[in-house]
Amino acid sequence: MSEPVYAAIEAGGTKFVCAIGTADGTLRERARFATRDPESTLAEALAFFEAAAQRHGRPRALGIASFGPLELDPYAPLYGRLLRTPKAGWHDVDLIAPFARLGIPVALDTDVNAAAFAESIWGAGRHADGTPLDTLIYITVGTGIGGGVVVHGRTLRGMMHPELGHLFPRRHPDDLGFAGVCPHHGDCLEGLANGPAIVARLGHELGNATPDHPIWDIEADYLGQLCAQVTLAISPQRIILGGGVMQHARLFPLIRARTRHWLGGYIARHQVEAGIDDYIVAPGLDDRSGILGALRMAVDTGRQQRDTAVDTGESLP
């Protein structure tokens, strides 16, 4: 029998990534296209999987890692839908129903929870011997700021899912005149530290800011506050920072210094003192954490389904 394959989607605000892969994290085929209106975008994803099934065999399950906010409570009537997203036309869109035609189980989580999950299994969220860390946070800083959390090998979900980007930082003294860009809160973390907030202050694109521009000290201070606050709230074993803004090379050392500043010596642990270079780190999977997280969700869901089928004596396909 050929090796089982699984389907994965990383649904982003600007692009969709669809892939077919195997349980070890190998992507057999991948497609990338622009996020347009929900109907045509989801139809293009479905068409990819139907065509890919001809080449690789029918996938056992589908994992969807999506931008949010999402209804993730399987008992809620709106399960699988996007909630109050600012992405035009996508509010209330059902992300699961369009894939019913594939006839396979579907797992859904946020893109950042999925990224945290993949990093814990294959990336920078592991011990030196390769085993997953028990508690890990993945934060992306780009057009938005989002955070995913893995606790005890599972992504953190509750009433909804973590929304770490909308925590409130203390204002930097040199940044008091800026109102922030979050449509809900103004000067929450996302409103002060996402890509558009930097551009709004600079008046030009991010890439044109000189390395010693004071904006980076302000940016690092806010992200340092975020790292300090999630350290206090969740006590992760590591924090991974990804996303477009984090490509700016100077940020990591500045953020580590500001994290220590805001922790004020209270967390007397090696990880946040001499060992902080190994506590706040870049992703190990580059920009593949989201799609690999979706793949791994599909693998786990496919296996669960089969275990349940065996327990109840149902015949397997």
For Zn ion, the binding residues (CB under 5 A) are: 166, 182, 184-185, 188, 190
C-alpha distances (whole Å) from 314 to each of 106, 245, 308 are 19, 50, 8
CB of 181 to Zn ion, least distance (A): 9
CA angle 171, 173, 177 (to 5 degrees): 75
Neighbouring residues of 228: CB distance < 8 A, sequence distance ≥ 6: 258, 259, 262, 263
CB of 188 to Zn ion, least distance (A): 3
CB of 120 to Zn ion, least distance (A): 27
CB of 183 to Zn ion, least distance (A): 8
Q: Which letter does DSSP use for residue 126 in this model?
A: B
Closest CB to Zn ion among residues 190, 221: 190
Closest CB to Zn ion among residues 4, 196: 196
Handedness of CA 54, 59, 64, 65 (dihedral sign): negative
Closest CB to Zn ion among residues 181, 209: 181
State how far the Cα of 296 lies from the Cα of 299, in Å rounded to an integer. 5
Closest CB to Zn ion among residues 188, 299: 188
Residue recorded with tokens 């990880």: 271
Write out the DSSP string of 3-35: PP-EEEEEE-SSEEEEEEE-TTS-EEEEEEEE-
Structure token digits, residue 157: 């979900």
Closest CB to Zn ion among residues 166, 171: 166
Closest CB to Zn ion among residues 188, 193: 188
The answer to whether 100 touches 5, Cβ cutoff 8 Å, is no
Closest CB to Zn ion among residues 119, 190: 190
